[in-house]
Amino acid sequence: MSKKKLLLIQLNEINFDLVREYSKEFKFKFFNNEFFRKLLITNSEEKYELLEPWIQWVSIYTGKRADSHQIYRLGDIKKYNGENVFNIIEKLSKSIGVVCSMNLENNLKKPKYFFSDPWTKTFSGPGKIIKFISNTISDVVNLNSHKSIPKLLYCKTFIVLLLSFRFKNIYLYSKLIFNFKKKWNKALLLDLMLHDLHLDLIKKHKTDFSSIFFNAGAHIQHHYFFNSKHFRQKNLTNPKWYIKKKYDPILDMILFYDKILSEYKELNKYEIILATGLSQEPYNRVKYYYRLKNHADFFKNLNINFLKIEPRMTRDFLVIFKDDNEKNSAIQKLNKLNQVNKKEIFSFEDRNNSIFVTLKLHEEVNKNEQILIQDEKKMLIKDHIVFVALKNGMHNSKGYFYSTFDEGEEINNITQIDKKIINFFSK
């Protein structure tokens, strides 16, 4: 068995064709000529509706396509009963560490550290500090679009910042924190905090196999792809009120990742696997993203009874009921809401004791726009939603794979990545 250790860097949805264009102009440390020489193209699902990161990453963990593992929603990983690459490596008596890997359940026996992703309800630990950090990150991500954030959460976030902070990156922290005009810096700041935490944990525990999930790049591409200097299509531009033309968030993102990923290459005894799962390409129109300000209040206005509501990514949320009567009543009311307003406000998926709901408002909402909620009662929809961002990027099945070592057959599908990892430790 290999005595070397392995890092899995999950660089979610990054388009490396775009990175390559920037590399012709900028001298990158990590994204250099050697990197692009070793970079492989991967494929995933063919149907567009299956091109979601919470599906693709499960395919990577399990080595199975979506029709086999049957996990189609973020947070649904608990439905999967089979093994994943982390379980298998642990059985080889290797120590494991996980930082926010998307849609991954913690069913490991003794992980050195495990931070759940912000949307998946699974055990984070061991220890109160890891649990505190994980819960705080989840709250920050899920409340990010709200206009008012509880003061206590600000305090908790500051504590997490202090726990993750490494003096080596003080300039980068100050650059991200104090440039308020660049709204995408918040996403980069979260990735920086996770990176610094991860580095400290690796050095402390010397984990044999560790993974970290970075999502800022996916967020930035989704919402600012049209501002890339290498995307020039006159009919697809972001309005000035959204972002100034002088800014290029895509370049900021690439420079950021080049900086922090270079630090992993400096670690002794560690090899690296980098994967994107899928990637993004420019969307064909400007699309608006909204999120409910307060899910519970909105459903109470609709006279819908429920036990609890669990937010998922951006527009999605899970509504849990105490019985079928409550659930069926909610479905009827949501159907009626769409019908009487003659447009799809919500889409939803019926589950055992819950419904998975998505807010479907894609066009700009007028401040005076009303929706009929029941009988003659109307509400201003603007009072109950908050603008999140404009959609610039859409998913593409094309992904990328890179490793610092060359062993075995080349990878061309994401379902082969788990075998690459297992073989690394089995030889």
- Whether residues 245 and 319 share a domain: the answer is no
- The model's pTM is 0.88
Cα gap 325→223, rounded to integer Å: 40
Burial pattern 123-132, b for ≥16 Cβ within 10 A else e, equals ebeeeeebbe
Q: Are residues 300 and 366 in the same domain?
A: yes
Q: Looking at the structure, do residues 81 and 139 belong to the same domain, yes or no?
A: yes
Q: CATH number, domain at 266?
A: 3.40.720
Asked if 215 and 317 sit in the same domain, the reply is no
Q: So what's the pLDDT on residue 166?
A: 85
308-332 mean pLDDT:
90
Reading the block at residue 383, the tokens are 């009072």
Q: Which residues pair with 271 in a beta bridge?
A: 6
> Residue 2's pLDDT is what?
57
Kindly state the tokens that stand for 332: 């009827």
**316 in the same domain as 196:** no
Q: Is residue 345 part of a domain?
A: yes
User: Smallest Cα–Cα separation from 21: which of 248, 189, 320, 324?
Assistant: 248
246 lies in some domain: yes
Are 305 and 405 found together in one domain? Answer: no
Q: Is residue 390 part of a domain?
A: no
* Three-class SS of 273-312: EEECCCEEEEEEEEEEEEEECCHHHHHHHCCCCCCEEEEC
Q: How confident is residue 148, by pLDDT bands cut at 50, 70 and 90?
A: low
Per-residue pLDDT at 155 exceeds 70: yes
Q: What is the average pLDDT across 354-373?
A: 89
Q: What would the pLDDT profile of 216-264 be if each residue is shown by its tens digit?
A: 999 999 999 999 999 877 778 898 999 998 999 999 999 999 999 999 9
> What crossing angle do the helices spanning 249-265 and 185-205 adopt, rounded to 10°?
10
- Residues 79, 218: one domain? yes
Residues 269 and 333 reside in one and the same domain: no
Backbone φ/ψ region at 163: left (φ over 0), alpha (ψ -120 to 50), beta = alpha
Q: What is the mean pLDDT of the chain?
A: 91
Domain count along the chain? 2
Residues 72 and 136 in one domain: yes
- Do residues 21 and 228 touch, judged by C-beta distance below 8 A? no
Has residue 200 been placed in a domain?
yes
Cα–Cα dist 312/146, whole Å: 14
Retrieve residue 146's tokens.
């709200």
333 lies in a domain? yes
Please compute Rg for the chain using Cα positions.
Answer: 22
Instruction: Tell me what the mean pLDDT of segment 121-139 comes to.
Output: 89
Residues 96 and 174 in one domain: yes
**Domain limits for position 334:** 294-383
Collapse the DSSP code of 386 into the 3-class scheme (helix H, G, I; strand E, B; otherwise coil) and give the result: strand
Strand ranges of the sheet holding 40-42, from the earlier edge strand across to the other edge = 40-42, 399-403, 270-275, 5-11, 209-214, 96-99, 113-115
pLDDT at residue 409 in the model? 67
Same domain? 361 vs 417 = no
Residues 138 and 236 in one domain: yes
**Has residue 176 been placed in a domain?**
yes
Run of H or E including 35: helix 33-38
Pairing of strands 385-396, 279-292: antiparallel
9 occurs within a structural domain: yes
